Amino acid sequence: MTFELSREHEEFRRVVREFAESQIAPHASRWDRDHHFPTDVVQQMGKLGLMGLTAPEEYGGAGADGDFTSLCVAIEEIGRVDQSMGITLEAAVGLGINPILSYGDQAQKERWLPDLVSGQALAGFGLTEPGAGSDAGATLTRAELVDGAWVINGAKQFITNSGSDLTSCVTVTARTGVTTDRTGAERAEISAFVVPTDTPGFTAEPAYDKLGWHASDTHPLTLADVHVPEDSMLGERGRGYAQFLATLDDGRIAIGALAVGCIRACLDACLQYAGERQTFGVPIGRKQGVAFQIADLEVMLRASRLLVYSAAATKDAMRESGGPTARELKQTAAVAKLYATESAVSATRIATQVFGGYGFMEEYPVARLYRDAKVLEIGEGTSEVQRMLIARGLGLPVE
């Protein structure tokens, strides 16, 4: 079995790389230092077509010319020069556009997608709450139907792209009642809604002070008596939680691509530095202790790339009849996310070590990569949650 990206994908990679190196790389360190979210660059990514890679042409997307694999290529290339802009793109498409594309009705798609796909607007994905992260079904946010409007009250936490100047709406999950599961036990009925950010009562609270991803936009959200029309429900009543979990399956592959970009950045930086930096009269790359660590980076890169791009190919193959099932995708996505993100964290530790004291200084990008990588093991499902999903996929009765 061979697994290679197509010539078209590799050509597309070159286009994105050129953009990333000319428009993002020279500024990434400053944006990180200043915690600056570069709105104009996000719009440029839209103009380049990066937000529309999985969207139909009728909303301005790439249609048949785009696919999930292309999105992963774009995220890898942007993430190689700037993880903050990589996650901005990943969340814009995987968490912002995809739920509306997958579950929105015609009117919702027509209202929101054209601006999101062109990069003139961003949407947030409001699942996590102060008391409900890995256990996102424990949501306390509530929506009540009062006189033909849904009234939403609650709070969301750590929401990417939710408070920028470009953010037009946030999709949120909320309890809409009580239902019974297959065993007859009562549980919360959770539905999803599209909330325009200019709705009274919706507040994006001040941005977090994060360890990394400084140039990415992340806020806590407050929803206080937020009134949205009855037709703001996204998808079927009571299916909100399931829809959001399915959205995360795709998102995990894309986070894997961001991790691949991080590992590549570590490898590129180390290769260059190991040829330049001299100790004991020779380049450090002559020392096995250093060279073997860099060899490990190459192994991490190749293995992570294979897992991520085969997961992306699985996602793309689902468009064909008789293709892989959602269950297969869940397992493949969890394996790819787990392996690639844990490898990325290890890769940044190795890169920092190869750079010695300079690796600890912000003047080199490996320090930023070291700070940025950790969250890859947390966002869109922690490593423990991925292991739980994989174990369940193997038929183990894990809680």
Considering only residues 157 to 216 of the shown chain, the ones binding ligand FAD according to CB under 6 A are 158-160, 210, 213
Contact residue for ligand FAD among 382, 391, 392, 393 (CB under 6 A): 382
Smaller CB distance to ligand FAD: residue 127 or 188? 127
Q: How far is the CB of 238 from ligand FAD (least distance, A)?
A: 19
Smallest gap from residue 383 Cβ to ligand FAD (A)? 7
Encoded amino acid at 265, one letter: A
Smallest gap from Cβ 387 to ligand FAD, in A, equals 8
Q: Which is nearer to ligand FAD, 133 or 201 (CB)?
A: 133
Closest listed residue to residue 42, CA positions, set 89, 93, 83: 89
Site for ligand FAD in 293-322 (CB under 6 A): none
The answer to whether 222 contacts ligand FAD (rule: CB under 6 A) is: no
- The answer to whether 362 is a known catalytic residue is no
Q: Is 69 left (phi over 0), alpha (psi -120 to 50) or beta?
A: alpha
Indicate the DSSP class of residue 61.
S
Rounded Cα distance, 386 and 336, in Å: 9
Q: Which residue is nearest to ligand FAD (CB)?
A: 133
Cα(61)–Cα(50) distance, rounded to whole angstroms? 9
Q: Which residues contact 387 (CB under 8 A, 6 or more apart)?
A: 338
Asked if 95 interacts with ligand FAD (CB under 6 A), we say yes
Residue 63: phi, psi to the nearest 5?
60, -135
- Largest Cα separation within the chain, whole Å, is 80
Give the nearest distance from C-beta 83 to ligand FAD in angstroms: 11
- Separation between Cα atoms, residue 159 and residue 142, nearest integer Å: 18
Is 375 a binding residue for ligand FAD by CB under 6 A? The answer is yes
Question: For residues 179 and 184, what is the distance between their CA atoms, to the nearest angstrom?
Answer: 9
Of positions 28, 91, 259, 270, contacts ligand FAD by CB under 6 A: 91
Contact call for residue 241 and ligand FAD (CB under 6 A) = no
Residue (112 or 158) nearer to ligand FAD, CB: 158
Concatenated DSSP letters for 76-98? HHHHHH-HHHHHHHHIIIIIIIH
**Which member of 189, 320, 380, 384 is catalytic?**
380
Residues at the site binding ligand FAD, with contacts judged by CB under 6 A:
91, 95, 125-128, 133-135, 158-160, 210, 213, 218, 375, 378-382, 384-385, 388
- Give me the active site residues, please: 380
